[in-house]
Each structure stands twice: as structure tokens, then as C-alpha cells.
Amino acid sequence: MSSAPTTRRRGALIAVLMATIGAVSCDGSSSVGPDLTVSAPSTTIGPSRIDDGVLRLAVHLPTTGAGARLGVPMSDGVRVAVSAINAAGGVLGEPVEVDFFDEATSVDLRSTIQSGADAVIGPASSTKALAVLDQAVDAEVLVCSPSATAISLDRFPDSNLFFRTVASDTLQMSALARTAARTGSGSITIVHLDDLYGRDLADALQTAVGARASLSVSSMVPFSGDDPDLADDAALAIETGARIIAVLGDADDGGRMLTAIDAVLAADPDGVTPFVVVNDSLRAATDVMAALSPRLRSVIVGVAPRALVAAVDSPTGVFATNAFDCAILVALAALQSGSDAPRAIADQMASVSAGGRICTTFAECADLLEQGLQIDYNGLSGNVDLSSTGDLNRGWFREFRFDETGREYIFNEIGFEAP
């Protein structure tokens, strides 16, 4: 673990006694969609956080290794937010303090929590969030992730302490159903990786398709990431006769399935080519997309959460605005609650994000709160309207295709509300 404090005030830290932590097991080789088993937090809960009048944030994001491409911009987003908060007078009359921890080297949240944090910004990875979130729940510390989208987090027993400023994959599947429906074809076969990640996506897409009168599920075709030959599964998907095929999985196995489908189509050059819709992880399958026949590559459309907001000059980088919004929401919720206690802040997170006077900066929102008015913070990442369970009611997505080099290109941006 590396720790680089920036604005942290020097003073006595609050000693935090941690209770026995319940474990979350993780199986599967996929870094994007592992077969995860979610366990409930242990029944022994750590002591409630002390309300000492100073809001302390701990940033738990990857700043080294492969994840740094995501983590560094998000960490910078928090820095920009804290600077804006403190320039406007801070929270509860005191500057906000912040510590940074490297998700790539920190094996869990214990050290992060023991820093005296009232709220954690992170983790970036859904896998990491599922593995360590119970520790935060045990210690009654609020967590806000800018980029963890896994459906498994929808149902995690988080005691309403977990929030996301990125849309859940459940909402992504609703957006993908909309994209599929826009092809004008009525039937869809859902081909999915047969692990927890893939099954969650498939179930969510099936539900979303069922809500659309113009679309129906023809068949569900699961496939194993351990199967070296996906020819039979690909042939079965084509033989269903559906005009749309959804391929759901990670870049490696989802990419293998697309290659197998391409081979089946090549054996019947005069056959009908179905439309293909894919989830966001397939964006990383650049080499696979480049090797596909133009026949198949030209009909593939994907949906992904918006990671960059073109109109925002600072902070920049993938999901940086989402991290910025996590920090601003936590600070505003602390102001509205009049407390830096995590539970009090968590109880106001949804309240400051919707249903009141619209404001777009911390200073503007803080001024409205000072006047006793209800606020609706519209963030840099978009309308961060949080539900009572901590997920976004509305998400921003981008539709993408692939060019001849296999790289994605965006051709449409959509906002999509939860049904």
C-alpha cells in the first residue's frame, strides 16, 4: 500500500477498532467478469464513526499497474473536487482532508478505513468492490465508487452505505435492449458467458427485452470460457434464426465467441447476417475486431457507460468526472446532515442529488443549503440522481461500432432512465 496525503491536517487521528471481517470469495480467471460469490457482512459490526466536525475522505483507486489508466484520472478528479470544496469554505467550517491509497497494492480496505476516513472514494474495480465492501459496512464507513458497474453490487447487503456515480450494468442492459430494438428486428438470441458475470448480464437483458413490445427473446445460449472450441455454440446461436444476436462477456471469451460466429457465417456466404449487439467489455477486443470479416464487423453495435464528458475541461480522463461527483456529493450530504458521521452523510446522499433547486457547483449548492433550500446537484458526469439504494436512476451511455483496425468509435450518446 502506498499512501500520499495531500490536504490532510496534522492532528490526533481517531483510532478505529476493526471487528472480524467477513470474506468474499472470488473464482474465475476473468478480470472483468469473475465468477464471484457474494457473502453478507459479518454480524459483528465495528464501532460507529465519531462525529468530530472534520470530513475525511480516503481515495482507494489504482495508481500503479494496469489499472492506473483509470485510477490516476479518477484520483485527480477527487483532488480537483476537494480543492473546489475547500476554496468555498470547506465543510462544517473546516477544510476537507483527503488521503490516497493505491488499490493495486492495498489488499483490502482496513488500512484505508483506519486512516480515520468518513467516506471512501473507490474502489474502481467491481471485483475489488465485491471483495472488500463488507469491511466498510462492518466499520460503518460510506463508500462511493466512480466506476464499479457489476450487477452483483446491485444486491450486495451494503446497509445503504454504498453509492455509485456510474450506471449499474443493469441499466446498461436496458440501454442495450433499446439499441437492439432500434434495429427494427423483433427477435433476439442472447449468447452469454456462463459465469456469474455473464449470467447476470443475460438475465438483466432478458428482463429489459421483456419490457419492450417490439422485441422478444428467441433463445438463451450460454457458453463456457473453459471450452477451447465454441463452434457448436456459435452454430446454435445462428440456427435459432433470430435477427439479432447479443454477445455478452469479457473481451477474451466474448471475442472468441464473435470469432466463432464469424466462421459459421463464412461457411454460408449467402445466408442472412444477423445484427449483433455487445456489452462494453468487448471494446477491448481490438485484435479480434480487426480480424473479423467486414460482413460481421459492420453489423456490430455496442453500448458502454460514458466515461468522458467532452464539454468538461477539468478534471479530464476516464471516469474523472464520476470521481469528482462522488466527492462533491459526500461533501454536500455532510453539509445537509450537519455532521461528518458516515451514516448521517449516507442518509442524505440521495436527497442532495434530486428533487430540489438545481445547482452545478459545490459553492452554488452550499449557498442554497445555507438558505435552508432543498438542492438537486447536477454533476460534471451528468445528472447524478441517486436512488434510495445508492444507484443512479439515470445513466449516460455511448453507442459504438468498430472500424477496420478494430478500434471502437462513438456514433451516438443516450441518456437512459431506470424502468
Residues 144 and 51 in one domain: yes
Do 200 and 329 belong to one domain? no
Cα gap 376→222, rounded to integer Å: 42
Shared domain for 336 and 299, answered yes or no, is no
251 with 323, same domain: the answer is no
Residue 126 to residues 150, 153, 169, 260, 265, Cα–Cα distance (Å): 6, 8, 11, 28, 35
- Please give the grid coordinates belonging to residue 257: 465467441
Q: Which residue has the cell 480543492?
A: 83
pLDDT digits (tens, 9 = 90+) for 287-318: 999 999 999 999 999 999 999 998 999 999 99
Q: What's 234's domain CATH number?
A: 3.40.50.2300
Residue 145: inside a domain, yes or no? Answer: yes
| Residues in Cβ contact with 390 at an 8 Å cutoff, skipping those fewer than 6 apart | 158, 160, 161, 162, 163, 164, 349, 350
DSSP 77: H
Q: Do residues 372 and 331 both lie within one domain?
A: yes
Give the residue-averaged pLDDT of 92-104: 96
Domain count across the chain: 2
**400 and 376 housed in the same domain:** no
Q: Is 9 inside a domain boundary?
A: no
- The C-alpha cell at 335 is 453539509
pLDDT in tens, 316-355: 999 999 999 999 999 999 999 999 999 999 999 999 999 9
Cα separation of the two ends of the chain: 41
Of the pLDDT bands very low, low, confident and very high (cuts 50, 70, 90), residue 271 is very high
Query: Is 314 contained in some domain?
Result: no
Helix axes 342-353, 320-337, angle to 10 degrees: 110
Residues 157 and 175 in one domain: no
Is residue 3 a part of any domain in this protein? Answer: no
Q: Are residues 299 and 402 in the same domain?
A: yes
Residue 1 confidence class, pLDDT cut points 50, 70, 90 = very low
Residue 233 lies in a domain: yes
> In which residue are the cell numbers 459553492 written?
363
Measured CA to CA, the distance from residue 392 to residue 78 in angstroms comes to: 19
> Do both 50 and 155 map to the same domain?
yes
Residue 107, number of CB atoms within 10 A of its CB: 11
- For residue 17, pLDDT over 50 is answered with no
What's the pLDDT score for residue 50? 67
Q: Which of 264, 205, 201 is nearest to 234 (CA)?
A: 264
Same domain, 159 and 179: no
Q: What is the pLDDT of residues 203-243, one digit of tens each?
A: 999 999 999 999 999 999 999 999 999 999 999 999 999 99
Same structural domain for residues 34 and 123?
yes
Cis peptide bond upstream of 315, omega within 30:
yes
Residue 174 domain boundaries:
170-306+396-417
Same domain for 193 and 331?
no
Are the CB atoms for 49 and 161 separated by under 8 Å?
Answer: no
pLDDT computed for residue 415 by the predictor: 87
Residue 48 domain-assigned? yes
Q: Which residues contact 350 (CB under 8 A, 6 or more apart)?
A: 386, 387, 388, 390
Q: Quick check: is 7 in a domain?
A: no
